[in-house]
Chains A and B, each alone.
Chain A
């Protein structure tokens, strides 16, 4: 690592070199800020969820309160689909790193289709779940948490679609695959959050 110094009265033109004295890499800082904002966002929804379910003195003894039920099995299948999509995402990136374009494209398309299947299943689940946001606080936090995650899936699908389009147009190579790496990180993050949401809301 080299410290850079500029002469005060030199013949340097253009903007000054960015001050790096905090020693935080800009990309790392950006990712940390993003993760921090996401943690706060999901944290606020989880705080509401745990208040409604645990801390609230008038919280129902059973979850969800009778006569409502969560479609645990359907959500479980949906969870398997989403987790599998992470495997195909990983396969796609490993393929492009090895220069296997067919594997890369197949992995990306499969990931996208499974993500889309997850989102469509969630919409169908909403339509058939048997309660709506006006049926109590538990319903509000249920739709809030799962809906927030669904929004993240939708954003992830947009990123994957861009990667797929660029991939079919011949972009990316074993040397240049940063545009696949970052959506991959995001997609795994979305999966991690779903594991937490599914465990907390549906299973526990």
Chain B
């Protein structure tokens, strides 16, 4: 079942389906109120199930308009709690040594759902800004120049925003190890790989192991 509001023809088909469905409901209600109610519930559930199964395909891969100069490479680094991890800093250092590279570090302002819905995001942004400042300071101490920005609470939206303003040649995403990472559980890395036509490097930072 397609969206009934995508076109006039789809809306017309939806009208015909509605007439048929409500004719069934009225007939069932004439026999028994309970049967009519169950018919309504059953048809509604069937419509939702059909719509859910036939939703459109996943969005196409986006071409990233790259803004790097001729001898330059732009790398977008996405991380938050793992932003100061040694594995990530090591990866950035390696990339910085191979070619003239401009880094943009994005720290999504991760927040709880309740606080997101109530627009209580200032503390989350402050925490993300603190981590970002610390990371930029560490990178600067080893001679790596990088810019940074606090991104949207949704990491995919934060990446989308940064891709449009920064135009990277490569994206590096840092997460906790599998089993501990909310981003991996949500498929953030796979989604970014599927969405953009630039290489995506996944760096696993195990803060617990580093602290032992």
A→B interface (CB under 8 Å): 1-8, 17, 19-23, 31, 35, 83, 86, 89-90, 93, 180-181, 184-185, 188-189, 191-192, 195-196, 199, 203-204
A202 CB, nearest partner CB in chain B, Å = 10
Contact of B59 among A1, A6, A21, A90 (CB under 8 A): A1
Residues A196 and B18 in contact in the complex (CB < 8 Å), given A1-B59, A6-B164, A22-B157: yes
Q: Are A191 and B5 in contact (CB under 8 A)?
A: no
B→A interface (CB under 8 Å): 4-5, 7-9, 11-12, 14-15, 18-19, 22, 25-26, 29, 36, 59-67, 152, 157, 160-161, 163-167, 196
CA distance A86 to B12 in the complex (A): 7
B47 CB, nearest partner CB in chain A, Å = 12
Residues from chain A with a CB closer than 8 A to the CB of B25 are: 199, 204
Q: Are A188 and B8 in contact (CB under 8 A)?
A: yes
A73 CB, nearest partner CB in chain B, Å = 15
* Nearest CB in chain B to that of A186: its residue: B11
Q: Are B11 and A189 in contact (CB under 8 A)?
A: yes
Please name 20 pairs of A and B residues whose Cβ atoms are closer than 8 Å in the assembled complex, sorted by A.
A5-B65, A5-B66, A5-B164, A19-B161, A19-B164, A21-B164, A83-B19, A86-B12, A90-B9, A93-B9, A181-B8, A184-B11, A185-B8, A188-B11, A188-B14, A189-B5, A192-B11, A192-B15, A196-B22, A199-B26
Name the 8 nearest CB pairs between A and B, nearest first: A21-B160, A184-B8, A188-B11, A5-B167, A199-B22, A3-B62, A185-B11, A5-B65
A38 CB, nearest partner CB in chain B, Å = 10
CA distance A180 to B11 in the complex (A): 13
* Nearest CB in chain B to that of A181: its residue: B8
Residues from chain A with a CB closer than 8 A to the CB of B15 are: 83, 86, 188, 191-192, 195
B196 CB, nearest partner CB in chain A, Å = 7
Contact of B65 among A4, A23, A204 (CB under 8 A): A4
| Contacts A2-B65, A4-B164, A203-B29 supplied; 12 other A-B pairs, CB < 8 Å | A1-B59, A3-B63, A5-B66, A5-B67, A7-B67, A21-B161, A21-B164, A31-B5, A83-B19, A184-B12, A185-B8, A188-B15
Q: Are B26 and A204 in contact (CB under 8 A)?
A: yes
Residues from chain B with a CB closer than 8 A to the CB of A191 are: 15
Residues from chain A with a CB closer than 8 A to the CB of B8 are: 89-90, 93, 180-181, 184-185, 188
Residues from chain B with a CB closer than 8 A to the CB of A180 are: 8
Residues A185 and B161 in contact in the complex (CB < 8 Å), given A86-B15, A196-B18: no
Q: Are B62 and A5 in contact (CB under 8 A)?
A: no
* Nearest CB in chain B to that of A188: its residue: B11
CA distance A184 to B196 in the complex (A): 37
Q: Are B165 and A8 in contact (CB under 8 A)?
A: yes
Q: Are A185 and B7 in contact (CB under 8 A)?
A: yes
CA distance A203 to B40 in the complex (A): 14
A2 CB, nearest partner CB in chain B, Å = 5
* Nearest CB in chain A to that of B166: its residue: A5
Count chain B CB atoms within 10 A of each CB in A2, A8, A21, A83 and give the residue with the most. A21
Q: Are B18 and A192 in contact (CB under 8 A)?
A: yes
